[in-house]
Amino acid sequence: MKIAVLDINGKDTGRKADLSKDVYAIEPNNHAVYLDVKQYLANQRQGTHKAKERADIVGSTRKIKKQKGTGTARAGSIKSGIFRGGGRIFGPRPRNYSFKLNKNVKRLARKSALSIKASEKAITVLEDFNFDAPKTKEFTAILKALNLENKKSLFVLGGSNNNVYLSSRNLKGSEVVINSELSTYKILNANQLILLESSLEEIELNLSK
């Protein structure tokens, strides 16, 4: 699967990148994609929600009325959840939302996501570039050259590049990750996936294990 390599001005360099059919042209497995995205979103949840229940309320433990003869239901404490100011009945408690997902399923999900993007022609291969210093203006110029100003874009680097990362950090619709940080959710959440040349080999190596 051949795709043209562009430079940072959006011009064709005349070179072609060879994308593996085993990674970018498989039959997408929608259920694997669903499970991987579900796990990613679940892992983002802090799970620190907590409501005060009956035992957490500060108040008197005096029995507020006699047990029988009032014509109404029994009531043993003012802290009961049926009274104003009482504890919440079955309120949320701190919990961990994360769950286990097999490596092979996650690998299949990422391949499926990349194949979906390839079929939508939403993958761009860009030659490697670097900045002398973090400059948001220079990164914005690249987005303009690639017609990505008003689109969600995900740049995938071959390795850590602090200047490029810091240059993109202030931009709401653009994100920069290294190949090992690539996830199914991030791939599908972007309108355009920009793969730097140095990331191609690493991505295929990670997904072919």
Give yes or no: residues 7 and 71 share one domain: no
Position 170 pLDDT exceeds 70: yes
Residues 114-140 pLDDT 10s: 999 999 999 999 999 998 899 999 999
Give yes or no: residues 107 and 127 share one domain: yes
Residues 56-101 pLDDT 10s: 999 888 999 999 999 999 988 999 999 999 999 999 999 999 999 9
Helical ranges in 121-161 per DSSP H: 136-145
* Structure-token pair, residue 4: 């043209």
Q: Which residues contact 24 (CB under 8 A, 6 or more apart)?
A: 1, 111, 114, 115, 118, 123
State residue 2's pLDDT score.
87
**Global pTM value:** 0.83
Concatenating the DSSP letter of every residue in 145-161 gives: HTT-TTS-EEEEESS--
DSSP 8-state symbol, 4 = E
Could you tell me the CATH number of the domain that includes residue 142? Answer: 3.40.1370.10
Which of 96, 129, 161 is the last residue in one of the domains? 96
Give yes or no: residues 141 and 171 share one domain: yes
- The tally of domains found in the chain comes to 2
Rounded mean pLDDT of the chain? 92
Among candidate residues 47, 41, 31, 5, the one with its CA nearest the CA of residue 186:
41
In terms of residue numbers, what domain contains 53? 48-96
Position 50 pLDDT exceeds 90: yes
